Amino acid sequence: MAKPIDLADLYPDIALEGSLAGAVRTVASKEGFSAPFTTSAFNPLCNASVASVASQRTTLEISAWAAERRWSIRGCEVFQGMALIDGTTQDLTQLVRAAQAWHDGAALHDISQAAPFVHLTGRFEMTDHDPVQLAESEWQHLRAEADEREWPEYRALVEAAFAEPMLRGLYPFTSHSTLRFSTTTRPRLTVIPLCLDAHRGNRFTLSASIMGEVLVDSTSAADAVSTAVRHLPDGLGPVTPGTV
């Protein structure tokens, strides 16, 4: 059996500082930055965070990998807790630059310019919990995600669904790459029992629910989407907030 990796051996500089937050503060000071990194009470060697002056942003979460020397970041919007940026790096200086830009409220594109390892999820920021804008943001995220995947059928399905006004007006989400729709936003979804799936080999299916009756099995994404529209409940209005 392989010996477990000792994090102090993997991150001796972090261990010397006593915490990940302490280590990034030292790097930030050398770079002339002053973002307020917070030490994790749960796991100080592996986790840290930094707040943002932008009220629509959560704290940026920073975490160390256990299997190799690398760090991940994740920064979310406050209304749903969905990621606006993420990414991984082996360079603490790059990490500090991203954290400082997040803290300062820099535009998302400018954060990725300051630290190229930063990945933009496609979601956009807003100043209030407008459900229509949240739905638009999720559509933008799904389309950006589809463009990044080596799966042309999935990309075709997302684009076909986005092109249909009745579906574009709903809140989209995925579960195991199944495209689904809700009449309310997170955190409490009101799910319409329809499931659109893309399959390798240019196949697209619409099911009545997860593992439910297959309503259409086609070689056309547009065909699957148009069938979904015909099965939508009557009287759907604009998407509304999904409050707890």
Same domain, 43 and 73: yes
Same domain, 113 and 38: yes
Q: Is residue 125 part of a domain?
A: no
Using the 3D structure, point to which of 120, 153, 172 is the last residue of a domain. Answer: 120
Residue 176: how many CB atoms within 10 A of its CB?
6
Residue listed under structure tokens 């936003």:
185
Q: Which residues pair with 48 in a beta bridge?
A: 39, 62
Tell me whether the omega of the peptide bond preceding residue 116 falls within 30 degrees of 0, making it cis.
Answer: no
Does 237 score more than 90 pLDDT?
Answer: no
d(CA 167, CA 75): 28
Q: Is residue 147 part of a domain?
A: yes
| pLDDT value of residue 152 | 98
Q: Is residue 162 part of a domain?
A: yes
β-pairing, 184-187 vs 240-242, is parallel
Q: How many domains does the chain have?
A: 2
Q: Is residue 138 part of a domain?
A: yes
Same domain, 158 and 219: yes
Q: Is residue 2 part of a domain?
A: no
Same domain, 113 and 13: yes
Residue listed under structure tokens 């994090």:
7
Same domain, 94 and 179: no
| pLDDT value of residue 5 | 63
Write the DSSP assignment of 73-107 as a string of letters.
Answer: EEEEBTTT--EEEEEEES-HHHHHHHHHHHHHT--
pLDDT tens string 109-167: 999 999 999 999 999 999 888 999 999 999 999 999 999 999 999 999 999 999 999 99
Same domain, 98 and 147: no
Q: Is residue 1 part of a domain?
A: no
Banded model confidence at residue 6, pLDDT cuts 50, 70, 90: confident
Same domain, 116 and 135: no
Using the 3D structure, point to which of 93, 120, 147 is the last residue of a domain. Answer: 120
d(CA 205, CA 195): 8
Positions of E strands within 52-207 = 60-64, 71-76, 83-89, 119-120, 171-175, 178-182, 184-187, 191-199, 203-207
Same domain, 57 and 136: no
> Does the global pTM surpass 0.85?
yes
β-pairing, 203-207 vs 191-199, is antiparallel
pLDDT tens string 46-104: 999 999 999 999 999 999 999 899 999 999 999 999 999 999 999 999 999 999 999 99
Domain range for 181 = 131-242
d(CA 233, CA 170): 12
Cβ pair 66, 42 in contact under 8 A: no
Cβ pair 39, 22 in contact under 8 A: yes
Q: Which residue from 141, 136, 79 is spatially nearest to 108, judged by alpha carbons?
A: 141
